[in-house]
Amino acid sequence: MNRAMYPCQLVGAQVALREFRLNDLDAVMTVVGDDRVTTSLSFDTRTREQTTAMLDGIVGRAKKELRTEYYLAVTIMDDVLVGFARLGLDGVQAAKLGYAIAAEHWGYGYATDAARTLVDFGFRELKLHRISAAMGPDNTASIAIAHRLGMIYEGCIRDHVYTNGGWRNSLLYSVLVEEWAATGTAGRRASRGVPRD
């Protein structure tokens, strides 16, 4: 059912998504080492040491036979890393979507394109049934992305994450495979990857 793709490379309208490499450290620091970005994430700003460990983990998990996540670098132009997008496989044909873009690249549509490309990959290639995304109630940019992707608001998850020194609610959105197919988005994205099985 869940064909593990490695390496996974996806091409969107504006961005490309690829596997992380250990030498992405400096670029990844511009994302997870920046308070402006992490204030809306479920984890606190990371040091260089923590980011090295994070990258080690992502790179290692990506190569596992049973892949539990597609945690991909979001790149523009000639492989300039501007952020990440992640599908965390969770339950039966279900996944959680997450994304972040370095602050200097906000507002160009990169997160929307990355999320749309990854969601399309999840439904078309991974044969998922449901993809959800949880975001802080004040995260207007992320809420706009959920709406743009045709996600449906499901409700508020109380004290969902502990971040930046306190508990934070999340708004839960989701999209189902039949809804995705009905948007006409399916088929617009090319994906490249090497099936493991």
Ligand X SMILES: CC(C)(COP(=O)(O)OP(=O)(O)OC[C@H]1O[C@@H](n2cnc3c(N)ncnc32)[C@H](O)[C@@H]1OP(=O)(O)O)[C@@H](O)C(=O)NCCC(=O)NCCS
Could you list the residues that contact ligand X (CB under 6 A)?
37, 40-41, 98-101, 106-112, 133, 135, 139-142, 144-145, 148
Least gap, CB of 101 to ligand X (angstroms): 4
The angle at the Cα of 49, spanning 55 to 86, to the nearest 5 degrees, equals: 30
Of the pair 112, 117, the CB lying nearest ligand X is at: 112
**Which strands, in side-by-side order, build the sheet including 94-101?**
152-163, 166-176, 130-135, 94-101, 80-89, 69-76, 16-19, 5-11, 190-195
Of the pair 57, 107, the CB lying nearest ligand X is at: 107
Of the pair 4, 84, the CB lying nearest ligand X is at: 84
Least gap, CB of 136 to ligand X (angstroms): 7
Least gap, CB of 113 to ligand X (angstroms): 7
What DSSP designation does 65 have?
Answer: S
Of the pair 91, 107, the CB lying nearest ligand X is at: 107
Rounded CA-CA distance 138/100 in Å is 15
Least gap, CB of 1 to ligand X (angstroms): 27
Helices (H), the chain: 25-32, 35-38, 48-62, 110-124, 140-148, 177-183
